[in-house]
Amino acid sequence: MDEATDPANQFAFEGDERPIVDYAEKARADKRDAFYKQWDTKNNPVNRNGHLWGVKRSSP
């Protein structure tokens, strides 16, 4: 963190051209989004406090 926030290194870094996809995180987030899309409504919002979303590897 010291190196990344040192003003002397202002132009020492460059970002990647494209993202790396974390497929486990994508699967987790896709399930989360589908759940809230189904159950979260304007008149009856889902209380998301304490929600933890896991992921497991499925069989090939």
- Cα distance between residue 54 and residue 39, in whole Å: 18
Average pLDDT over every residue of 1-19: 97
Q: Which of 33, 32, 36 has its CA nearest to residue 47?
A: 36
Q: Would you state the pLDDT for residue 59? A: 84
12-49, pLDDT tens digit by residue?
Answer: 999 999 999 999 999 999 999 999 999 999 999 999 99
User: Tokens for 29?
Assistant: 């987030």
- Residue pair 26/4 in contact (Cβ under 8 Å)? The answer is no
Is residue 60 scored above 80 in pLDDT? no
Q: Looking at residue 12, what DSSP letter applies?
A: S
